[in-house]
A and B are shown apart, each in its own frame.
Chain A
């Protein structure tokens, strides 16, 4: 197994750092999947326990000027590594003024992802920071649990309002209730609601727009005014919203019936 990549562009580094920070905020350990074209960050807490699961895909070409990898074998040309997400974000944090950032898979008595950063320096001499992040290589037999989740057809799908706004609203609601009710319809309307014995607070969003639905049948059967409702743990939602550092072009919330 081999992996070696080089990053030289400041904007790319910035984005990569933000992605890493977002992962670090969501879960303590994460899986990094390296394949010839992509890097994936995978969090797979069991959804049944109310955990957060996440699949994040980065096209390697968009970030790295050099990228070489050799997977476990020719048929299984991928590398799955488990690491502490905070280590990666901490390592990238020191790369604020980097000229060059190199990441490679190494073996220093145990497998490591070595992040090596050459810093811009005022003086003539170069400064190099190296971080050896311990990783665990995930064996081939566990790979099936870490595949891209299939997104089933949704009852309702809606574009979210600006995440920052949503975050500040949900944050205030957290003090009143542990559960949040999200209601959305195909008319671009979204409600965030909390209900307790004493009080009920609802925030209404209008004109949000809906992404085109995958299956034609579902949209025809459904009354566009009818709200689909889910109850979720407010803290988990906040964890997700707090972690968002990458400004999305579109964020979609979809509700499925199981």
Chain B
């Protein structure tokens, strides 16, 4: 395999590696006919990321020596990242970057041709590996959001960099809501809750019902977002209900990127409540007593975080029950013309118009997430074939 990147594309490649480094510790490099793919997955298998650079991205691209099978390798993310560590340096001094993989040598060679005749050669050791495949299909997801990366960048700006998880949902009036997510386990130290509400008009595509919400890892999402912002691309989010992986995608003529992140789902302790009809229609206001018990929440269910590893489709049952979406009264705190001005703050009960901060309840029980039948399309499966198997 041999490929040559020149000019400003070197920095683009570097930025992609930075984004991938936010997810996993190992980089899977695979030259394909349709381009060079760089993939990674995190240790708990709850996040998968992939960038595919089309042959046109490169000045020269040779996937494999004719007659030979294309080589694949797995390298330590840290090693590969160290080549592209300083993006400023890449932009200022590097003119060309050549990546080559020779079957005979046991090294992945990355050469940076810099100004003033300086050439930096990195020989990185790698491991042979099977292809890291994640089977996912954005077309299967019922909900889609698409916005310029800049809009999403502004949306996450109010959240502290240390925040682990965020909930994304559709509120009343087709507003997109992002809210910081706090684990119940840490309830002794109450943390500040931040919520950002953006009008649907800022989005290029908004195909999702009100009340739908998913919770995912913000840190991992920021990895793709920063790349999309620097490349000035639009970012699409394909998602289903809580518990199902969400797909974040960017695309332009020379590359595309996909980040698949697991979303939080809670096993619902009172399935009978979910079937209650009043919860299935958006209620005009939130009843004060509608706040459920917060301690029924089982958050640390690692299974619900994992992007399905099983190869068999029939194991839907492990992904828990109806997931939950935001309660019917979910709406931004200060939507234009809202009634929040008349709120009476003297009562200790829930302020009307404010959603219960943590518990989600299902609106769509039975429609999307019925565990009885298997999903239509291919289920998102991450299967790293173990060596020796097909």
Partner-contacting stretch, out of B74-82, B126-134, B192-200, B246-254: B192-200
Pick from B196, B348, B357 the residue with the most CB of A within 10 Å: B196
Q: Contact flags (1/0) for A71-110 with B, using CB distance below 8 Å?
A: 0000000000000100100110010000000101111111
Pick from B192, B196, B335, B346 the residue with the most CB of A within 10 Å: B192
Whether B348 lies near A90 (C-beta < 8 A) is no
Question: In the docked arrangement, what's the CA distance between A3 and B350, Å?
Answer: 16
Residue of A nearest to B154 (CB): A127
Judge if A134 is at the interface, Cβ distance under 8 Å.
yes
**Shortest distance from the beta carbon of B7 to any chain A beta carbon, whole Å:** 32
Please give, as numbers and ranges, the residues of chain B lying within 8 Å of A129 by CB-CB distance: 158, 194-197
Mark out the residues of chain B between 172 and 214 whose CB falls within 8 Å of any chain A CB in the assembled complex.
190-202
Prevailing SS type, chain B contact patch: loop
Please give, as numbers and ranges, the residues of chain B lying within 8 Å of A234 by CB-CB distance: none
Whether A106 lies near B334 (C-beta < 8 A) is no
Please give, as numbers and ranges, the residues of chain B lying within 8 Å of A128 by CB-CB distance: 196-197, 332-335
Judge if B56 is at the interface, Cβ distance under 8 Å.
no
Judge if A4 is at the interface, Cβ distance under 8 Å.
yes
Question: In the docked arrangement, what's the CA distance between A218 and B200, Å?
Answer: 69
Question: In the docked arrangement, what's the CA distance between A110 and B189, Å?
Answer: 12
Please give, as numbers and ranges, the residues of chain A lying within 8 Å of B333 by CB-CB distance: 114, 116, 128, 130
Whether B334 lies near A102 (C-beta < 8 A) is yes
Question: In the docked arrangement, what's the CA distance between A125 and B194, Å?
Answer: 20
Q: Contact flags (1/0) for B274-316 with A, using CB distance below 8 Å?
A: 0000000000000000010010000000000000000000000
Partner of B345, one of A91, A102, A104, A118: A104
Please give, as numbers and ranges, the residues of chain B lying within 8 Å of A4 by CB-CB distance: 345
Q: What residues make up the interface of B, taking CB atoms closer than 8 Å to A?
A: 154, 157-158, 160, 190-202, 291, 294, 332-336, 340, 343, 345-351, 354, 356-357
**Shortest distance from the beta carbon of A113 to any chain B beta carbon, whole Å:** 10
Please give, as numbers and ranges, the residues of chain B lying within 8 Å of A131 by CB-CB distance: 158, 192-195
Question: In the docked arrangement, what's the CA distance between A114 and B197, Å?
Answer: 15
Question: In the docked arrangement, what's the CA distance between A127 and B154, Å?
Answer: 10
Question: In the docked arrangement, what's the CA distance between A109 and B294, Å?
Answer: 10
Residue of B nearest to A112 (CB): B193
Question: In the docked arrangement, what's the CA distance between A70 and B346, Å?
Answer: 9
Judge if A1 is at the interface, Cβ distance under 8 Å.
yes
Whether B199 lies near A108 (C-beta < 8 A) is no
Judge if A140 is at the interface, Cβ distance under 8 Å.
no
Please give, as numbers and ranges, the residues of chain B lying within 8 Å of A94 by CB-CB distance: 157-158, 194
20 additional contacts (CB under 8 A) given A94-B158, A125-B199: A1-B345, A1-B346, A2-B345, A4-B345, A102-B334, A107-B349, A107-B351, A109-B291, A109-B294, A114-B333, A116-B334, A116-B340, A118-B334, A124-B201, A125-B202, A128-B197, A128-B333, A130-B333, A131-B194, A131-B195
Whether B200 lies near A125 (C-beta < 8 A) is yes
**Shortest distance from the beta carbon of A93 to any chain B beta carbon, whole Å:** 9
